[in-house]
Amino acid sequence: MWDYGDHVIVDCALYRDGKRVEVGTDWRELRAKADADGGFVWIGLHDPSPDEVHEVAEVFGLHPLAVEDAVKAHQRPKLERFDGTIFVILKTLWYVDENDAVETGEIAMFVGGDFVVTVRHGEGNELHSAREALEASQSMLGHGPGGVLYAVLDRVVDEYLDVVDELVVDVDEIETSVFSDDRTNDSARIYVLKRELAEVRRAVLPLRDPLLRLTSRDVPVVPEEATPFFRDVADHLARAAETVDSLDGLLSTAFDAYLAQVSVQQNDDMRKISAGAALVVVPTLIAGVYGMNFRHMPELGWTYGYPYALTLMAVVAAGLWVMFKRSGWL
C-alpha cells in the first residue's frame, strides 16, 4: 500500500550532533537508528492518506486524538502535549498575486525526544527551504527536535509577515481609490479585504497561546537555551497580529470615508442637476410669456422681437450659468 516513489514522503533523514547523517527511503529503519544512537529522525509527509498517517503513528507511538487532527484538515492552530511528545497544528498562509487573495494550508507536527513528523496539507508553503536553512545551521540543528520546531515556526510566521505586507499594499490601494475623484465602487473590495484579514486573524491569534507556552519552558523537547528563539517568533507573531488589527481599523475608517464620499457626491450631483434644470426651465418660462395671447403685447410686434426673445433667453441662461459656477453648483 505504501509507495515510496510518490511524493507523500517528501524527505526523511537522520540527524546527529547537528549534522544530517543519513537519508533513506526506509523511514522505519531510520527511526530505529534514531532510537539507538541518540540522533533524531525527521520525516516530512505531504497530503498523506489517513492509512499512511496511521502507519507512521503506530511506529512512533503517537496519540490517537492528535493523529485524528493531523488527518482531518481545517483544524485550529494549537499546541497539545501528550506525555513526552508535543503536537502542533499551524495554519500556513500565502498571497496569490493573480487574484489578490490569501490562501491557507495546514501543517501538523509531532515532536518527540528523538523524532519529528511533519504532515503538510495543501499547496504552497513547502517546508523544504526551512529544512535546508536548518541543515545549514549546525548550532540550531544541535537543539534537536526543538530546533526543527523552531525552524518550521519561524518559517511559517515569517510568511505571515509577508502576507501582511501584501495586505498593507492592498489597503493603500483602496485608500487611494476611496479618496480619488473617480466614481469607484470600493465597498466590494473593502469587504473582500476585511474577509482576508479575518482569515489571517484566524491563523494568527490562536497561535499566540502555544508560542507563549513554548517560551515559558513548561514544554518538553524544547531546551531552555532555545527559548529566546521562540520569544523571537512570538514577537514576529505579535507584529503580524498588531498590523492586522491596525489594517482592520483603517479599513473600517476607509469604509466610512467611502460612505461619506458617496453622500458628498450625491449632493454635488443634485446641485449640478438643479443648476442644469434651471438653465432650461427659466428660458421655458420666457417662451411661455411670449406665447401668451394678449392682444396688446408690444414686443410681439417688434421687428427684432424674436431675436430679442432668444437673446433674452440666452442672456438669462448665461447669467444663471455664471451664478451657479461661482457658487460651486456647476
- Looking at residues 149 to 188 of the shown chain, list those that interact with a second copy (rule: CB under 8 A): 175, 179, 183, 185, 187-188
Least Cβ distance, residue 77 to a second copy (angstroms): 10
User: 295 is written with which cell numbers?
Assistant: 392682444
140 Cβ contact partners less than 8 Å away, ≥ 6 residues apart: 18, 134, 147, 150, 151, 229
| Cβ contact 40:145 at 8 Å | yes
Least Cβ distance, residue 15 to a second copy (angstroms): 21
Whichever of 255 and 321 has its CB closer to a second copy, that residue is 255
Of 200, 185, 291, the C-alpha closest to 245 is 200
Residue with cell string 456647476: 330
Of 236, 237, 186, 187, the C-alpha closest to 208 is 237
Least Cβ distance, residue 106 to a second copy (angstroms): 13
User: 156 is written with which cell numbers?
Assistant: 511559517
328 binds a second copy (CB under 8 A): yes
133 binds a second copy (CB under 8 A): no
263 binds a second copy (CB under 8 A): yes
Identify the residue among 260, 318, 322, 323 touching a second copy (CB under 8 A).
260
Q: Rounding to the nearest 10 degrees, give the CA dihedral for residues 320, 323, 326, 328.
A: -60
Site mask for a second copy (CB under 8 A), range 46-85, x = bound:
-----------------x-x---x-----xx-x-x-x---
Write phi, then psi, for 81 (nearest 5 degrees): -120, 120
Whichever of 7 and 183 has its CB closer to a second copy, that residue is 183
Least Cβ distance, residue 207 to a second copy (angstroms): 13
Identify the residue among 49, 129, 216, 253 touching a second copy (CB under 8 A).
253
99 binds a second copy (CB under 8 A): no
Whichever of 264 and 318 has its CB closer to a second copy, that residue is 264
Hey, is 300 helix, strand or coil?
Answer: helix
Least Cβ distance, residue 61 to a second copy (angstroms): 14
| Cβ contact 39:15 at 8 Å | yes
229 binds a second copy (CB under 8 A): yes
Hey, is 101 helix, strand or coil?
Answer: strand
| Cβ contact 5:11 at 8 Å | no
